[in-house]
Amino acid sequence: MNALLKKEMRLSALLLTYLFIGFSLMTFCPGYPILCGVFFITLGIFQSFQSAREANDIVYSALLPVAKSDVVKGKYQFVLLIELCGFALMVIFTLIRMTVFASSAAYLHNALMNANPFFLGMTLLIFGLFNVIFVGGYFRTAYNLGKNFVIYIVVAFVIIGIAEALHHFPGLDALNAFGFEHIGLQAALFAAGAAAFAIMTYMSYKKACEDFEKIDL
């Protein structure tokens, strides 16, 4: 673990951000749009960014004997740490729903999205959008937060709404397969979500490094 990531975890991050990882438990909620758990995890990250801004954290970081690109890298590493911790828990909870609770009436008669690989793929897609819209947007000014986060909220809930609605369309019921039904399709959808997350995060990081270099703090 590098020094800037330690600094982000110990000095810049709020306890609230770590606590909000617990919203991954929403994966177990029947009759509820479980992708909202992803939004709450990103909300926790937003709170840390907001607190760090008020403490002039970005100026402090830029004054350290490190390259400006390393400051960006530290922020992205922290964001990814929180996202992947939440995602790892969601994977565990999804597997429990697909096995231990495979015959649970509460889930079998659930009209909303089931916990399956498609859900996990959509989780990564939303995390990727957060990294592009909010984290990448932040480094265009290294100060403005609200506008980018509001845009992310709108986009995230549009995606959540679409994801929740898709399996109700004729021929798309396999998207909401319960247990290990249609596992081949589900695995492909998960892989697509993982690829989108990786590509969006990497491109966002590279653009953020370029933008931050241009800012005169």
Question: Distance between terminal CA atoms of the chain?
Answer: 27
From 46, 127, 113, select the one nearest 85 (Cα to Cα): 127
Asked if pLDDT for residue 99 goes beyond 80, the answer is: yes
- 49 or 181: whose pLDDT is higher? 49
Percent of the chain with pLDDT over 70: 99
Give the dihedral sign, CA 34/127/200/92: negative
Give SS3 for 194. helix
Question: Mean of the pLDDT values across residues 90-102?
Answer: 93
pLDDT digits (tens, 9 = 90+) for 22-52: 999 999 998 899 999 999 999 999 999 999 9
* Per-residue pLDDT at 3: 85
The band of 1, judged by pLDDT with boundaries at 50, 70 and 90, is low
The model's pTM: 0.94
Cα distances (Å, whole numbers) of residue 38 to 63, 89, 117, 154, 169:
33, 11, 15, 14, 24
pLDDT digits (tens, 9 = 90+) for 47-93: 999 999 998 888 888 888 888 999 999 999 999 999 999 999 999 99
Residue 27: DSSP 8-state: G
Give SS3 for 169. coil
Token representation of residue 85: 């911790």
pLDDT digits (tens, 9 = 90+) for 185-217: 999 999 999 999 999 999 999 999 999 998 876
Cβ atoms < 10 Å from Cβ of 144: 12
pLDDT digits (tens, 9 = 90+) for 121-162: 999 999 999 999 999 999 999 888 999 999 999 999 999 999
